[in-house]
Structure 1
Amino acid sequence: MPNVTLQYRAPSALDASSTTPKLALSAALGGLNQPFFQGQVRQPRLTARALTCLSRAVGERWFDAAALAEARRRMLDPIVTSGDSLLRFEGFSGCRSLYVRVDLLPGAVDVVHQSAGATNVDFNQAMRSALTHIRSQDAMSLSVDEMAFTLIHGDEALVEHKVDLPISWLRGLASIPVISSRSESVCELNGRQTLELFRQLPRTGNGRDSHWLQLGPRGARIGRVPSPDAIQLTGAKRLLVLQELLPAVKRLSISTTPERNLTLWTLHFDDLRLTLALSPEVWRGFSGEGAALDDLARESDPDLDQALLDQFESGFDAEDAAIQLNVSLPAARTSLASLASQGQLGFDHLDQRWFRRLLPAHQALIQKSNPRLAKAESWLRAGAVRVESHSPDRSRGEIQIDEKTSHHVAIDAGAGRCTCFWFGKFGLSRGPCSHILALQLATRVSQ
C-alpha cells in the first residue's frame, strides 16, 4: 500500500474536564484525496505576488464595467496543474479577454511529492489577503489534490476547494493552445527596459483605445501612431495588472501572432514566469475565438486521444505524438485539438510544447463548449448540407437553413469562405463560421 501524507487543521483533542469526556477529531486537509503536489516555496514573497497578480487579473472585467463587481465575486477560480516538473496556475479575466498563467519552474519549490494532476479552485478573500501579507523570510508550502488547494503559511493553513469550471473557460482553453502555437517571439527586454516600457502604458481612458508597440534596435516603445511593423495594442491598460511584479523582473519576452494584433507578454524571474495573453480587443474574449474549430471539424479517434494521454507524462509536440504513436501528423493534431477542447491539454508557447492538464472532462463537453460545431453537426444530421464538389484541395457546398435561407460555402486549400453575415463581419479571424464547419464535417477535409 503506498504511503499517504495527511495534513490536519489542528491536533485532535480529548476534553476530560466534564463528567462526559469528548473526543474532537480533526479532519485531514483536502479530505481523503492523496495530494499530487506537495512542496515548500523557495521565494515566498515573489510567488505570493505572482499569484496575487493572477487573482487580480481573473477578477477584472474590462469590457463591461458595471459587471466588474460580479466578475470579481464569481470568477476567481484558477486552474492548478502539476506535471513536467512544473506547477502551473491558469485563468481568464471575467470578460475572457485576458489569459494569465503562472509557471513555477523546477527551482521554485523544494518538492516533497509531485505527480500528474489538475484541479480548479476558488481563491476567496481569505486566500488573497494571506498572499498579500507573505514576506520573503516567511515559510510557505503548497499542497494540491484533486479536490483542494492548500496554502500553509506559518501555523496557518488555508484551503480552497474545487469549484465548477465555466464552459466559457473550456472554450478559451481550446483556443489558447492553437493561438499560442502560431505565435512567434518579437522582442526581448531586460529589467530596466521593461520598466521604461510599462511607464508608457495608458493610465486613463476606458481601456478600448488603440496603441501600437513599436520595435526598434534600442528596445520597444508604445505610441498612438501605427507604422508598418508595429503591433496593435487595443486595451493596453490591461497590462497594468503586472505592475506590482515589475521591480523584480529579470526580463520580458513578447510574442505575437501573424496578424500582429494579439500579444503574449511573459515576465521572467529566476525560477518563475508569468504570461499574459491579450486578445485583440477588450470586448473580444478568447472564449469566442474558435481557433481550434478547424481541427475539431475533423473526426477524432477516441482510442488515439486516450493513447496520447497514456503515452506522454511530460511536454511534447505534435511531431513527437505522431512519431511515437505511428499516426499521421493531421491525425495527431486532431486529437490534440479534441483533448484541448476538453481542458485536457495546454500549450507552452515559450517551450513550444504541449502539457497535460488532466481536468475531469469527457467528449460531450466538445459540443457544449463549441456551439458553432454543435450547430454544424445538427445541420449535417438534418441533411441540410449539400456537397456540390469535393477534392483534397477544393470543396463547394450549400447549407439550407430553412425554406428561404441558404448559404454557399467554398473551401480552397483549407481556407473557407461563406455568404453568411457572420463571415462577412469576421472572416476567419475568429475561426470558421458554422456553415464552413458543416461543409468540413460533410467532406472531412484534411488540413
Structure 2
Amino acid sequence: MIVDFKYKGQSAVVQGLTSAKMAFATNALREAAYFKGTLGRPLLLREALSALYTVVTSDFKFRPRDRFAFEAWLAEQNRLFLEKLGARTEKARVRIEELEARRSELDARKQKRLEPFYQARKHYFEYVFHHEYELNYILDPVITVHPDEVFFEAFSQDESSYARVGARYDLFERIEAFECGTTNIDFSARLARELDRIRTYRKTEFDIAPAGLAVTVGGGEAHKEKKVALPETWVEGFLQVQSTMTMGLTHLRIAPIDLFNVCRYLRLHKAKKSPRALRFELVPGKRIRVVFEPWEHAIELSATAVYSGDKPQSIRTWGRDRLRVLSRLLPVVQHVDVYLAGFGLPSIYVLDLGEVSFTLALSGWTENDWSGGAKFDLLTRRVSASPEELMLVYESLRHVRHADEAQIALSTKLGIEKTRSVLSHLCQVGRAMYDLSVRRYRHRDLFADPFTLKEAVKAVAPAAPHASQSTPEAKAAQAIFAGDDVRIIMRRPFSGGFKLSGSARGESGGRVRPLLTVDHEGRIVEGTCTCAHWKSHGLTTGPCEHLLALRLAHMARLTDEDGGNNGNEAKGGN
C-alpha cells in the first residue's frame, strides 16, 4: 500500500526567552484537522510526547549477531591451511610465509589510508539516521482532534508496542480554534530533541496545522512530500489493538511506585535463560504480587493494589523489557491501570498523568507482534449487520465524535446488542477506536478515503479484509455450526456471563471438547480445547474453530431464549 504525504513545512519547536511554539505540520492530503491553543502545563505534554517517540523508535526484537566478518576470516584461514598443505618443499613454505607477511603489511597500510573514508561514511550514515529517519512512516503518528482532547497514536519499530497520548483540553489555559478530524503529523528526530527544551517558565503555544513551520524559498509555497510504502501489517496492527481493548480484560490498579519497582528490577537484571515471564499472582482481597521469572523474585505491590476479582488466578506475560519505555513518565504519573487479556496474551498499561493519559499496549510477546498472525478480533462478538446499519452507527459516532455504546444505541434505535456489534465492526475496519482510558468509542478514520455506503457494503461482505469472517478459523466454525456438528453439553450462567462445555467435530472426523467462558456481551474471556491448534497455541493467536462454533451455538441459544427476534443474526456472527 502506497501512502502519499504532503507537508507544508516541518514540525518543530521554536524556543524564545519567554515563549515557545510547538508546531506540528499535518498531512495536507487528508481531511482538514487543526488545533491552536496555549499550554497551561507544558511539561506533561513534553514528557508524554517524548515517551511516545521512545516507543516509536524502540525495537526489542532479537537480532542475531552479524557473523559475516568472522565467516570471512574463517574462510581465509581455511585457504591458508590448504595452501600450506600443498607446499611440498621447505623453500615453498618459507616463500608463502614471506608473501603472507607482506600482504598483512599492505592490508594494514590500506586500512590506514582508507580510515578517513570510513570515518566520513560513518558520519554520513549517522547524519541520515538522525535527520532523514523521519522518512520512515512509523515516525509519522496518527493525530486526531476531538471536542474534548487531542490524541496521538503510533506503533514501535518492531510493531509489538502500540502507544497513545491523549491530551485533554484542561491541559490548555487558552484554546483559540480547532477543527475535528484525523490526519498524520510530521514527527522527526529533530522535533523530539526540541521537545526536551520546553520549560515551564516559557509560555508555550501548541499549534497543529497544515503549514506547521513553513520555509518559503523564492517566494513560492514550501512543501515537503513523502511517498511511503505502508505495509498491510501497519493497518492490521491497529485493528488487532482495538479488538483487544474491547475484550473482557482483567483490570488491576497499581500505584506509580509499583511500576517504578518493576522497571527498576528489569533495568538491573538481565535473564540469560528461559522463562522470561512477568507473572501476576492474583488472590481476591489480597495485595497483588508480581513475580520475575526465571529468578522467581516476587514483589508485593503497595497496599492500594488489591485484587478485587472473584477467583484466584496467575497470569503470565512476556516481552517485559518493553515496559522500560515508561520510565520517563513515572515522576508525573498519578496512577496506573493494568489490563491483562490472559496467559501469553496482550497486556495494556494506561497511565494517568492528570490532564494527559498515556496508553501502552503490548502484544503477547515481542516476536509475536500485533500483525504477526494474531486474530484477537475473533474473540469479540460479531452479530451480522447490514451496510445501512453500519453507516447509521458510523454517522452517529462521527457527529458526536465520542460516545459510549448506550448513547449510540439510543440515537440510532438499533438496540444495545446490535450497536455493540456494529461499533466493534467499525473498529475492525479502521473507522472507529475504543479509548480504554475513558471507556468510550471514538470516531477515527485510519484511511484518507471517506467511508461511504459502497465501502460499508465491502466491509460486511464475507470476504471483506480485516473482517473476522474471512479467517480460516471463522469459516471452519461457520461450517461446523451450519452442519449441526457442535453440541452444548453444559451451559451455566454466572455473574460475569456464561460457562460453556461442548462437543464439536474435529479435523479428522473425531470429536473434540471445547470449554468456553463468555461475558454477557458474547466476548470470549477464557477457552480451552482438546484440538491440536489449541494445544500448540492456546489463545495466543486467537481461538480455534471449535471454540468459535461453540460460541455460535450459545448465541443461537440466547436468541431462541429471547424469543427468536434475531434468530438469523446469530448465524452470521462469530
Deviation at 1:129, TM superposition (A): 2.6
- Picking from 417, 420, 426, the partner of 1:330 is 417
- Picking from 210, 221, 229, the partner of 2:277 is 210
Report the CA distance shift for 1:259/1:132 in structure 2 as closer, same or farther (over 3 A). Answer: same
Report the CA distance shift for 1:149/1:172 in structure 2 as closer, same or farther (over 3 A). Answer: farther
The corresponding residue for 2:388 is: 303
Query: How big is each residue's C-alpha offset from its partner over 1:72-111, in whole Å with a ceiling of 9 and x where there is no partner?
Result: 9552232211214011111222333222111102211332
Cα distance between partner residues in 2 of 1:267 and 1:99: 14
Runs of 4+ more than 6 Å apart: 7-10, 69-72, 157-164, 215-219, 376-381, 383-386, 390-400, 405-420, 434-443
- Picking from 542, 548, 564, the partner of 1:431 is 542
Structure ID, larger Rg: 2
Counterpart contact for 2:32–2:181, Cα < 8 Å: no
With CA pairs under 8 Å and 6+ residues apart, which has the higher RCO, 1 or 2? 2
Counterpart contact for 2:8–2:223, Cα < 8 Å: no
Matches within 5 A, 1:262-341: 262-287=346-371, 288-293=373-378, 295=380, 298-312=383-397, 313-341=400-428
Cα distance between partner residues in 1 of 2:329 and 2:195: 14
Deviation at 1:298, TM superposition (A): 4.2
Deviation at 1:149, TM superposition (A): 8.3
Does 1:50 pair with 2:116? no
Cα distance between partner residues in 1 of 2:409 and 2:189: 45
State the Cα RMSD in Å. Answer: 4.6
Query: How big is each residue's C-alpha offset from its partner over 1:285-313, in whole Å with a ceiling of 9 and x where there is no partner?
Result: 22333222355864332222221122232
Amino acid in the other structure paired with 1:93: S
Report the CA distance shift for 1:250/1:328 in structure 2 as closer, same or farther (over 3 A). Answer: closer
- What fraction of aligned residue pairs are identical, expressed as a percent? 22
Counterpart contact for 1:142–1:150, Cα < 8 Å: no
Counterpart contact for 1:97–1:284, Cα < 8 Å: yes
Does 1:173 pair with 2:219? no
Deviation at 1:327, TM superposition (A): 1.9
Report the CA distance shift for 1:259/1:161 in structure 2 as closer, same or farther (over 3 A). Answer: same
Matched residue SS, 2:542: coil
Counterpart contact for 1:142–1:149, Cα < 8 Å: no
Deviation at 1:194, TM superposition (A): 4.2
Cα distance between partner residues in 1 of 2:477 and 2:249: 33
The corresponding residue for 2:197 is: 133
Matched residue SS, 2:176: strand
Runs of at least 5 residues in structure 2 that lack an aligned partner in the other structure: 1-6, 11-24, 66-128, 215-221, 299-311, 450-454, 492-500, 519-523, 554-567
Does 1:98 pair with 2:194? no
Cα distance between partner residues in 1 of 2:291 and 2:486: 47
Cα distance between partner residues in 1 of 2:163 and 2:482: 42
Matches within 5 A, 1:30-429: 31=28, 34-65=32-63, 73-109=136-172, 110-144=174-208, 148=210, 150=212, 166-181=231-246, 182-189=248-255, 191-203=256-268, 204-205=270-271, 209-213=276-280, 221-224=290-293, 225=296, 229-259=313-343, 262-287=346-371, 288-293=373-378, 295=380, 298-312=383-397, 313-360=400-447, 362=455, 364=458, 367-369=464-466, 373=470, 375=472, 387-389=483-485, 422-429=533-540
Cα distance between partner residues in 1 of 2:186 and 2:350: 24
Cα distance between partner residues in 2 of 1:217 and 1:420: 36
Report the CA distance shift for 1:418/1:256 in structure 2 as closer, same or farther (over 3 A). Answer: closer
Cα distance between partner residues in 1 of 2:393 and 2:28: 30
Report the CA distance shift for 1:194/1:409 in structure 2 as closer, same or farther (over 3 A). Answer: closer
Counterpart contact for 2:487–2:504, Cα < 8 Å: no
Amino acid in the other structure paired with 1:335: V
Runs of at least 5 residues in structure 1 that lack an aligned partner in the other structure: 1-6, 11-27
Matched residue SS, 1:200: helix
Matched residue SS, 1:174: helix
Query: How big is each residue's C-alpha offset from its partner over 1:331-387, in whole Å with a ceiling of 9 and x where there is no partner?
Result: 222211221112221112232211111232545578444588255798899x99972
Counterpart contact for 1:59–1:73, Cα < 8 Å: no
Aligned length: 411
Matched residue SS, 2:403: coil
Counterpart contact for 1:30–1:150, Cα < 8 Å: no
Counterpart contact for 1:316–1:353, Cα < 8 Å: yes
Cα distance between partner residues in 1 of 2:276 and 2:213: 39
Amino acid in the other structure paired with 1:61: D
Report the CA distance shift for 1:427/1:40 in structure 2 as closer, same or farther (over 3 A). Answer: same
Counterpart contact for 2:50–2:196, Cα < 8 Å: yes
Amino acid in the other structure paired with 1:431: G
Deviation at 1:398, TM superposition (A): 7.2
Counterpart contact for 2:137–2:228, Cα < 8 Å: no
Report the CA distance shift for 1:66/1:330 in structure 2 as closer, same or farther (over 3 A). Answer: farther
Report the CA distance shift for 1:237/1:278 in structure 2 as closer, same or farther (over 3 A). Answer: same
Matched residue SS, 1:88: strand
Does 1:444 pair with 2:571? yes
Counterpart contact for 2:486–2:549, Cα < 8 Å: no
The corresponding residue for 2:14 is: none
Deviation at 1:170, TM superposition (A): 2.6
Counterpart contact for 1:54–1:100, Cα < 8 Å: yes
Amino acid in the other structure paired with 1:49: E
Report the CA distance shift for 1:275/1:63 in structure 2 as closer, same or farther (over 3 A). Answer: same
Cα distance between partner residues in 2 of 1:71 and 1:375: 37
Cα distance between partner residues in 1 of 2:28 and 2:416: 42
Matched residue SS, 1:300: coil
Matched residue SS, 2:252: strand
Cα distance between partner residues in 2 of 1:223 and 1:338: 37
Deviation at 1:116, TM superposition (A): 2.7
Matched residue SS, 2:183: strand
Cα distance between partner residues in 2 of 1:218 and 1:418: 32
Cα distance between partner residues in 2 of 1:188 and 1:132: 28
Matched residue SS, 2:442: strand
Cα distance between partner residues in 1 of 2:176 and 2:396: 25
